[in-house]
Chains A and B, each alone.
Chain A
Amino acid sequence: MSRLLKIARREYLAYVRTVGFWLSIVALPLVIGITALAPMMMMKSAKPERLAIVDLTGQTMGPALAKAIVQNQNRDAARALRAAALSAGGPKAQEEVRKAQAQGGDAAGREVLARYNPSAAARYKPPRAKVIVLPPPVQAQEAADPRAAGLIARREVGEKRLDSVLILSGRDDAIVMDLWSRNLAAPVLENDLKTAVGEIMRERALARAGVSAQTLKAADDLKPAFNSLSPKAASGEKVSLRDRLPTIVGFAAGMLLWSMILTGASILLNSVIEEKSSKILEVLLSSASVPEIMGGKILGVAGLTLTVLSVWAMGGWLALLNFAPGLAGDLVAVLLGKGLLFYFGAYLVGGYLMYAALFAGVGAFCESQRDAQTLLGPIMMVMTIPVVFMGQAIRSPEAPILNALSWIPPFTPFLMPVRIASDPPLVQVIGTTALMAVTVVGIIAFSTRAFHVGALATGKIDLKTLIGLIVRKQAG
């Protein structure tokens, strides 16, 4: 085994054998998972709101509202089933489920889902009802005015027999809603109830103006037929989710590459600082050449980065297969079909080499994290620029500013993965990649020299001195 590989192996094992490394691998997906699942879990675990409607309008506003609440909940359930169909079987399954729901309700929709993905259909649970409408307290319903009804509502809510009581009063265009609730900060139902009552008031106002219920429904159902078309679509015209997926994947890859490169380069920096501060670098220099030491360290940390990436990719893949197999198929097709995987790999390697070599070279001058912060501050500021523009690349990947920034080599590994999905001109792909490759070679040469000078240098070094030491022609 060559010295380079021995150094790489030591570097890899030194981190991989620590508990902290595996905790850090688990930490990010765990945080993402908790962030994504927490609202859903909270919603699922929340008890339905026990609501009573006291109708003092004399216009059957209460029963109409209760009916609207049930209809809204049914619509939420139907939407959830279609979302499950999309992730489990793709857009086609979603469309089939929609048609089945229209003809035979949710039961028919579930049958269709079962045909596409039996396990997803078996796993599917309709969302829990947010509200249960209970009969109002008799005394409140018989109260002479909203104030008297309010006293009863206050008692019922205060003594936890009900979670909320809605008192409807007034008439026609001047309905008043008094909502008594235990939740002071944000009554859960407030917005839903306001919308539903507003709808009923609108329907009735139009009815009074002579618009029939059928006409109103027909008017509400009016929607233009919309077709999203593009010559870049796989079908040649109609744009599907799969056509949009590359841009989303490109954005995700850009962010992933950014975090992986930064993580890898930071690990490398810490490793070099540790060796410099504990005086190991000088012993290493007497045992191996600078390219062997730097190459070994860069390779070892690349192994770590790939381990992290592999674990995350495997975890993500298993999650996709389990929860959204339709999307998993599309993802593979996108990654392989447009060669995105190759481009992402090339930009990962280029970006990693560029920043890892730079961080290693700078690290050789640092005996502590504080020294490193002084020297790396400007580099870190530069590294945040592509992140700002990555989101922009989803909406307008051909924006002139993105085009220009892609030609700046330190940004290329982050911005080009995002843009590559939208098929930028070949000259841009080749040109930016070639420029990046040349820069990588230049930075490796510069950092190798810096590493050698830094490894034997002592004392505190600022950025100006560092550049002077490296650029200066050594007398020897």
Chain B
Amino acid sequence: MVNAVTLEGVSKTYDEFHAVRDVSFEVPAGRITGFLGPNGAGKTSTIRMILGLLPASAGKITVLGENDATSVRSRIGFLPEERGLYKRMTPIDAIAFFAGLKGVPEVEGRKRAKAMLEAQGLGYAMKKPIKELSKGMAQKVQLISALAHEPELVVLDEPFSGLDPVNQQALEAMIREIAARGATVLFSTHVMQHAERLCDKVVLMARGRKVFDGDVATARCAAPRALVLEGDLSAEQVMALPGLGAVTSEALPDGGWRHVAVLSETSGGHDALKAAFARDLSLRRFELKEPSLHDAFIVLTGGQA
């Protein structure tokens, strides 16, 4: 199986509102795919359709080789955007219960829950009611609940939201571990740094439409490179340099200006630098800035982020 998930011309309409319009993409098996887009882009609706929670208004979805995701429920792990667990249950009971719903026998489920909780440093809390755990701990428990049945496809809807930087890093490590054991991971986020660090592939959505589908490096190409110039030179002087496009400027705290000038497609920035030195402009520092995924995201989504 090359692709774990395939969407072909999928749309979702609520009354007059088009949440998802004619979206097609693939999630390669055994890889980490980021599903990116600003709030309201249609990510959650698409994920719900992939999972079979919502019917698609049009198009075709194939999940793990099946047209109906509900027939392969036990092979999918899901972490929803808004998270919750039975507050009076203990982590070990909750994990075993959800694993049980996916077909894992209770004894085995409890064994796996214990091992996974200990691996995440939550062994001491496995028999405490979940209501007594911190938010970060509870989120880890929920993620373990989604993984305890060792799914082939793991779908995570905004998994990093609400986590502190330490727990975000721990979650990134967990996602890498999931992929390392051969599972496919599809996660949605609007924080590009996570996608940049984790993903083999990204799919960008905006206003219900797919605006990009490819690897991170290609996505970055959607945004232009820029030349950063700092010194006692004006925006007009920068704009007069060859091979540069739009310029944004900001004053520096210790005096002088910081100008970020977009490089034209054919320019590598050398012409502009040569001209700056030739004109004896007061330049303290320069830098060739490669576009980030965030920059690409801004360009591709039309600045909706």
A residues with CB within 8 A of B: 1, 3, 6-7, 10, 14, 18, 275, 277-280, 282-289, 456, 472, 474-476
Contact = CB atoms under 8 A, between A and B. Distances in A.
Interface stretch (B75-83, B113-121, B246-254, B290-298): B75-83
B128 to A, nearest CB: 15
Nearest to A6: B100
6 contacts: A10-B97, A278-B87, A283-B98, A287-B73, A456-B53, A476-B12
B124 interface: no
A282 B52 CA distance: 11
Contacts of B87: 278
B48 interface: yes
A1 B102 CA distance: 11
Contacts of A14: 86, 88-89
Contacts of A10: 86, 97
Size category of the B interface is: 20 to 34
A295 to B, nearest CB: 13
Contacts of A6: 97, 100-101
B101 A456 contact: no
Q: Is the interface of A mostly helix, strand, loop or mixed?
A: helix
Contacts of B55: 474, 476
Interface string B92-121: 000001101110000000000000000000
Interface in B24-80: 48-49, 51, 53-57, 70, 73, 76, 78, 80
Given A6-B100, A476-B56, 16 more contacts: A3-B101, A10-B86, A14-B86, A18-B88, A278-B85, A279-B84, A283-B78, A283-B84, A283-B98, A283-B142, A287-B73, A287-B98, A289-B70, A456-B53, A475-B13, A475-B57
Nearest to A1: B100
Contacts of B13: 475-476
Nearest to A292: B101
A280 B54 contact: no
Contact of B85 (A280, A288, A456, A475): A280
A282 B53 contact: yes
A300 B87 CA distance: 18
A456 B80 CA distance: 11
Contacts of A7: 101
Contact of A476 (B57, B145, B146): B57
Contacts of B88: 14, 18
Nearest to B89: A14
Contacts of B86: 10, 14, 278, 280
- Of A1, A280, A286, most B-chain CB atoms within 10 Å: A286
A287 B142 CA distance: 14
